[in-house]
Chains A and B, each alone.
Chain A
């Protein structure tokens, strides 16, 4: 199962609302997670099962979608949100990740 993220990078300012999309090559129901990774650190789970907010993650992060099309939205970008974001499917035991979206300061 291939996951295609877009865009591969984006420039934004603090306070902006941004959306990242992830498209699966086949239906994966809601078996889709979103991660944030800061350079030098392990990935951090933000959203699981497409739209469920992981405990401790700020509510400005939200996820939606099912089947093949998914989105991650950050409403009100904060300085600590500049990072790389990955989608990941667990529909198949052979996990796959999107190629990542780097969110940079405009």
Chain B
């Protein structure tokens, strides 16, 4: 079964850091670019970051550029998002997804609040 499972979300104070992970299974992870997409409670979908198959190319939304870092470990079929200098507006469910858009994780909630 093709599956993505996010972890690492939680409650964090403004200015602090958090690292999200996404475990992939059921497909050849190294063949696909991967993305992070977030959704603030009651709001629409917002693309956050993407990485190509071999990590040569990474991209970020302006809202997170300079604060978030995407990375991947093809040997361990995992995707990561290092989030620094967190702000209240980063509060959202964070989803990882394949570049094809056909597989999404269940999401992990990040709440930034004092």
Contacts and interface: CB of A to CB of B under 8 A. Distances in A.
Contacts of B61: 94
Given A35-B101, A48-B101, A100-B44, A42 B50 contact: no
Contacts of A100: 44-45
Contacts of A44: 104
Interface residues of B, number: 19
A96 B45 CA distance: 9
Contacts, number: 49
A100 B39 CA distance: 12
30 contacts: A35-B101, A42-B95, A42-B105, A43-B37, A43-B95, A43-B104, A44-B104, A45-B101, A45-B102, A48-B100, A54-B102, A86-B44, A86-B45, A88-B45, A88-B101, A90-B99, A90-B101, A93-B57, A93-B59, A95-B35, A95-B37, A95-B47, A96-B47, A97-B37, A97-B44, A97-B45, A97-B47, A99-B44, A100-B44, A100-B45
